[in-house]
Structure 1
Amino acid sequence: MKNRYSWGRMYLLVSLLFVSVMLYAQEERDLKPVSRTYALTNVNIVQAPGRKVDMATLIIKDGLIKAVGKNISIPPEAIIIKADSLYVYAGFIDGLSRTGVIKPKEENKERPKDPGNPPAERAGITPQLDVRNFLSASDKSVEDLRSLGFTTAHVVPYGGMLPGNGAIIQLTGKAPDDMVLIEESSFYSELTPAERVYPATTMAVIAKWRELYRQAALEKNYATLYASNRSGLERPSSSRLLEPFYPVIDKRTPVLFKAEKIWDIHRVLGLQKDLGFSLILAGVKEGWEVTGKLKSSGARIFLSLDLPEEQKEDKKDEKKDDKKEDKKDVPKMMTDAEKEALEKRKAESIANYVSQAVAFQKAGIPFGFSTLDAKLKDIQANLRRIIKAGLTEDQALAALTTTPAQLLGLSDRLGSVDAGKIANLVVSSKPYFNEKSKVKYVFVEGTLYKIESSDAKKDASIVLEGEWSVTADTPQGKRESVVTIRKEGDKYSGKISGARFPQAQDLEEVTLDGNKLKYTFTITEGGNTMKITVEATVEGTTFKGTAAAGQFGNIPVEGKKKPQLKP
């Protein structure tokens, strides 16, 4: 009897120890939730543009949408999210992006001995590269884009005229391979000239592109002939430079061309007409005058969400405004009538940019949107500006969901809230395009991300005033600077100093929204000026983020507050 009691007691102790260890291990390893099944209840579901179910239930299981509608039974293992009065949409799709893509450090760009025939890499010709080699699942840009409701992005590498292959990724996962939905989804191209070597002009880029394509077609034809009958034929050469063109020639892979300006669009369409490849035209900013030509080309279109700033009228101090205008925008000798005509042309130009999507809609051209070059903080406001210009909310939603899914061949998996599709979803507090709407949750392949608003992130413990040591990880190495921030009332100002600044320079803008810091400044080098915008997340006495440096992309930056010396 005593022996059985001892064994029973030992069994109980071992069982309790095992459970304790398992619970501890779960906390330590930050394991996934016990269940991957979720039930959103009493939620307004916008399944697709024009299709809505109010106060319904949505079931997610194993990364897929299992059921949508009313009177749906909830699985016992489901984690229930009471989404009363919230709105659910399909996750948004970005047609051209560098989200999560790390810019490689620049190689030595010394002028080669023969600048008319430089090495391919020096000329910006690297079609053999794969964007997957440059992906980082932990890059802050992934979280930032996801917090706006985007769940999928067509990403491309940095580079010159032929940077490499793009991929369609999901904005989730712990490693690059976890993110990839479709590898080698596009053959990415730009009209970017090389520096101080051929092709050094846009026209030279077009000529070089045509030359490479035709050379690849010849090599491919010979390789096909050789494969059919090797006897008596010289073995074809292998070329990493030309072989990436083969699926383009066969129209198995589309050419994704970034073309912002109207003349760039004309040049790319001329190249496509000459060579006949399948074309995706993305980052389009000035396409409203060539809608007819674009429609007949059959190109798939992604319009840029980077819009010019709105003109602000300020009549408080007209004399002061006139002086500022004379200094920055308008030649001093212009008459009032000439100034008025100039302002009118500027206003018309901005209106054309903002209403571009309306022009494409009227022309019957399907289009999606691209976030490349757009400031993420402006995207929701820019969408509202486009809607105000005449695009309906359903049309804007289509350009974020169903249309890009169709253009990228993803309609069977993404783009709408239907049973059987991947659980990529965005949940907002109000209809998404409402100015007061906040994204509350985002699901990517069934993984839940809770999005904290800037109001929720406000931290009274953040004291921005003082000196910050800032390190920028540039392609040329680490660069140090000191940022000094002051506060007067609710407004911040500051200065930046360092090796690149002979004298301390005023920051043009300093803001703190919750724990999101932003400041801008201008650097001058080699006679060129560039505006730098730093956006970072502050945690106590440190911050981490990126510096947007124009054509050089986003550069990682970190800051650490210097301790204040006591008097």
Structure 2
Amino acid sequence: MLTGILSHAGWAQSDPTGKRRVTETFAITNATIFASPGQQATKGSVLFRDGVILGIGANLSLPKEAQVIPGDSLFIYPGFIDGAGMAGVTKPKDPERPKDFVSSAPPDEIAGITPWRSVSDQFSLSASQVEDLRKAGFTMAQVLPDGGMIPGKASIMVLGSSGAVNVLVENSALAANFRGSRGMYPATAVGVMAKFRDVYQNTTLALNHSKLYASNGGVSRPEVTPTQAAMAAVVQKQIPVIFTAASDLEIRRAISLQKELGFKLILTGLEYYEPVIDLIKSSGTPVLVKLEIPDDKAIKANKAENATEATKAQYERVKEAYDKALKQAAQLEKAGIPFAFSTMDTKPSDALKAVQSMVKNGLSEKAALAALTTNPAQILGISRVAGTIEKGKMANLVISNDSIFKESAQIKHVVADGYVFDYEVKKKAAKENGKSENGAVKIEGVWEYTAETPAGSNGGEITFTKEGADYSGTITLDDPSGSGKINTPIRNVSLDGKTVTFEFDVNAGGNTLVVSISGEISGNSMEGTMSVAQFGSFPVKATLVTPSQTH
């Protein structure tokens, strides 16, 4: 198992299968429809053709050519919109430094100032990350370019067929951040502020000079640089600046720049908004909240009775930070600050889980759905075509087997630009040997597992035993030295609801590696991740083959 992990640093899943529309007209019938946030759910059908919604209601007359998708027991929501992400985006190559390079005054491109770049040139709809995003319910996304302090302009993409033109709005916003340049100016956040101010003001002067030249004789010809030409849309308030700010200090700096210069501003990237909520509200700035869940492994490990007092105290601080992070969206709602969601630096597969966790921590379901649909549509200026299920709007829909705010929810279909993508919904086992008579999950017994590493599938057995309230056990795995299978004890076994976590040590080349496994139990099956701090996380699956006969 670990032999493959040690020899490779990456792993990629195969793409789920999406279906291209077979006919031009579709009807999803007899489903529970949530047309917009806060609106009462209705039972009815949604009819669409060529990517446009033709009707919604209980008594729709369906044309003969319509391909019918039975929606009984299904829930339909407006397609989710990612306010800011980088799925499918590649980073352009860094330009070579010229021979006469001066670090105190580098060319804009060398310093990471490239507002003329469009992310459309760096985006691929066929990338696996885009399919993961669509599978999570996202039908549109504003994608940001990768690069320096001003990497370029964002675009709003429709996540439909790879054979179609999927750019809805090109150059929808300017991306900016406080990332300094290495070994040259601007190298610090303060330097970035000064440089941004300089670029903005020089663009203003260049535009004024151009106007004067166009209407008056005897004026010298203006020389507008590529940077100034590309920044014109920002100065003229045609597009906003999306500032990625990772701290409350950077938030203050971005708002300070906006107040001084007057451009339109959207904020994203912060984890804790509480210290700057009043400032954000008074400035009227919309926010894109990252859809991420803090790692709670340390919290679960706190339940281990053999943990020291110092360790438990550290875990309590982690838990406090964990709870605080999940309450941020609710605090923004309470303050009346408009916000949407961003998938930046997050896994799309965790999106629904993150929303559900935020709802559990005070965010209303109405606000959560708005942050996925109507809010990003309004912030991005595309409410005319997206955000709700209405006649005349784009056919962007999410169809799930349950309310998306329930843990049992799974997405069965996604309609993006009228193209229908089908996904597997896992059925609950009728009889679950992994549960006791009172319904509590049981893990005792022998499990056969496989771990998908870069070198292929590896596996062995995990044995859980229980004495009183404590769990222990062993795991078999491939010896990194290549001498066959080894058996090693597992520790810190914790069962929290349906989640089991544990750790074990492996000696590889004289170094001790700590391996952590976290899995969700469903009947006789377990799915989760195997994490090795030095090498990342890898998917693991297990099946209960010999349940314990003790009760």
- TM-score, length-scaled by structure 1: 0.74
Measured in 1, the distance between the counterparts of 2:271 and 2:526 equals 32
Query: Match for residue 435 of structure 2?
Result: none
Look up the SS of the partner of 1:121 in the other structure. coil
Residue in structure 2 matching 1:393, options 365, 383, 386: 365
Q: Relative to 1, partners in 2 of residues 1:504 and 1:136: Cα closer, same or farther, differing over 3 Å? A: farther
Tell me what 1:420 maps to. 392
> Which residue is 2:337 aligned to?
365
The match for 2:375 is: 403
Letter of the 2:39 counterpart: R
Q: Which amino acid aligns with 1:312?
A: I
SS at match of 1:390: coil
* Matched residue, 1:216: 203
Residues 31, 157 of structure 1: CA spacing in aligned structure 2 closer, same or farther, 3 A cutoff? closer
**Within the alignment, does 1:194 sit opposite 2:181 as a pair?**
yes
Gaps of 5+ in 2: 1-17, 429-447, 464-474, 482-507, 542-551
| 2:218 equivalent in structure 1 | 232
Q: 2:169: which partner in 1?
A: 182
Mapped partners of 2:353, 2:452: distance in 1: 33
User: Which amino acid in structure 2 is aligned with residue 247 of structure 1?
Assistant: A
Distance 1:227 1:315, change over 3 A: closer
Contact 1:429 1:440 in 2 (8 A): yes
Q: Pick one of 410, 417, 442 that aligns with 1:445.
A: 417
Q: What is the root-mean-square deviation of aligned Cα atoms in Å?
A: 3.3
Q: Which residue of 2 aligns with 1:249?
A: 235
Q: Deviations over 1:295-332 (max 9, x none)?
A: 1212121111123223524566433x22xx86xxx6xx
- Structure 2 residue identity aligned to 1:280: I
Worse-matched range after superposition: 288-297 or 125-134: 288-297
Q: Report the equivalent of 1:557.
A: none
Give the 3-state SS of the residue equivalent to 2:226 in structure 1.
coil
- Specify whether residues 131 and 508 from structure 1 end up closer, same or farther in structure 2 by C-alpha distance, changes over 3 A only: farther
Q: How many residues align?
A: 463
| Structure 2 counterparts to residues 523-538 of structure 1, below 5 A | 523=534, 532-533=536-537
1:206 offset after TM fit, Å?
1.0
**Preserved CA contact (<8 Å) 1:282 1:302:** yes
> SS of the counterpart of 1:194?
coil
Partner of 1:485: 458
Letter in structure 2 aligned against 1:304? K
> Which of the residues 80, 102, 120 maps onto 1:114?
102
| Offset, 1:346 | 3.6
Q: Matched residues in 2 for 1:68 and 1:466: separation?
A: 45
For the structure 1 residues 317 and 44, does the alpha-carbon distance in structure 2 shift closer, same or farther, using more than 3 Å as the test?
closer
SS in 1 for 2:64: coil
Distance 1:161-1:535 versus aligned 2 partners, 3 A rule: farther
Supply the distance in 2 between the matched residues of 1:62 and 1:506 (Cα, whole angstroms): 54
Letter in 1 for 2:214: A
The 5 Å alignment of 1:35-46 reads 35-46=23-34
Counterpart CA distance in 2 for 1:135 and 1:418 is: 29
- Is 1:304 the equivalent of 2:267? no
- The structure with the greater share of residues assigned to helix is 1
CA distance in structure 2 between the partners assigned to 1:108 and 1:303 by the alignment: 36
What does residue 205 of structure 1 align with?
192
SS in structure 2 at match of 1:39: strand
Letter of the 1:97 partner, please give it. Answer: G
Percent identity of paired positions between Structure 1 and Structure 2: 35
8 A contact 1:496–1:507 mirrored in 2: no
Provide the rounded CA distance (Å) in 2 between the counterparts of 1:420 and 1:406: 17
Q: 1:136 aligns with which of 124, 129, 138?
A: 124
- Partner Cα distance (2:270, 2:154) in 1: 18
Aligned with 2:32: secondary structure? strand
Task: Determine whether 1:380 maps to 2:366.
Answer: no
Alignment of structure 1 residues 58-73 onto 2, 5 Å: 58-73=46-61
Query: For residue 469 of structure 2, what is the aligned residue in structure 1?
Result: none
Structure 2 Cα separation of the partners of residues 135 and 405 of structure 1: 21
Task: Give matches, 1:96-111, under 5 Å.
Answer: 96-106=84-94
Does the C-alpha gap of structure 1 residues 318 and 504 become closer, same or farther in structure 2, counting only changes over 3 Å?
Answer: closer
Match of 1:3 in 2: none
Distance 1:486 1:112 in 2: 56
The CA distance in 2 between the partners of 1:52 and 1:206, in whole Å, is 47
SS in 2 for 1:67: strand
CA contact (8 A) 1:287 1:356 kept: yes
Q: 1:492 to 1:215 in 2, by over 3 A?
A: farther
CA 1:201–1:45: 2 relative to 1, 3 Å: same
Q: Deviations over 1:83-132 (max 9, x none)?
A: 10100000001111001212334556799842212232221111111100
The CA deviation string for residues 405-443 of structure 1, in whole angstroms up to 9 with x for no partner, is: 111111111111111110000000001111111100000
Q: Classify 1:507/1:174 alpha carbon distance in 2 versus 1 (closer, same or farther; 3 Å).
A: farther
Secondary structure (helix, strand or coil) at the match of 2:269 reads strand
Q: Secondary structure of 2:277's partner?
A: helix
1:447-526 equivalences under 5 Å are: 447-453=419-425, 470=454, 485-489=458-462, 506=513, 508=515, 520-523=531-534
Structure 1: tracts of 5 or more residues without a match: 1-29, 331-338, 457-462, 471-481, 524-530, 538-567
Partner of 1:545: none
Q: Are the equivalent residues in 2 in contact too, given 1:87–1:428 (CA < 8 A)?
A: yes
Partners of 1:492 and 1:118 lie apart in 2 by 56
What is the CA deviation profile of residues 320-367 of structure 1, one whole-angstrom value per residue up to 9, with x for unaligned ones? x22xx86xxx6xxxxxxxx74x55544333222111111111111111
- Cα gap change, 1:111 to 1:94, in 2 (>3 Å): farther
**1:152 Cα deviation from its structure 2 partner:** 0.7
CA contact (8 A) 1:53 1:69 kept: no
**Which amino acid in 2 is paired with 1:49?**
P
1:291 and 2:277 aligned: yes
The answer to whether the 8 A contact 1:165-1:187 is kept is: yes
Contact 1:492–1:511, Cα closer than 8 Å, also in 2: no
By relative contact order (CA 8 Å, sep 6+), the higher-ranking structure is 2
3-state DSSP of counterpart to 1:123 = coil
Residues 97 and 155 in structure 1, CA contact (< 8 A), matched pair in contact too: yes
Secondary structure class of the residue paired with 2:110: helix
Q: Which amino acid aligns with 2:239?
A: T
Distance 1:255 1:166 in 2: 10
**Closer, same or farther in 2 for the Cα pair 1:130/1:522, shift >3 Å?**
same
What is residue 35 of structure 2 aligned with on the other side? 47
Taking the aligned partners of 1:363 and 1:444, their CA distance within structure 2 comes to 33
Cα separation, partners in 2 of 1:115 and 1:452, compared to 1, 3 Å = same
User: Which of 387, 405, 429 is the matching residue for 1:433?
Assistant: 405
Displacement of 1:171: 0.9
> 8 Å contact 1:55–1:84 — kept in the other structure?
no
User: 1:474 is matched with which residue?
Assistant: none
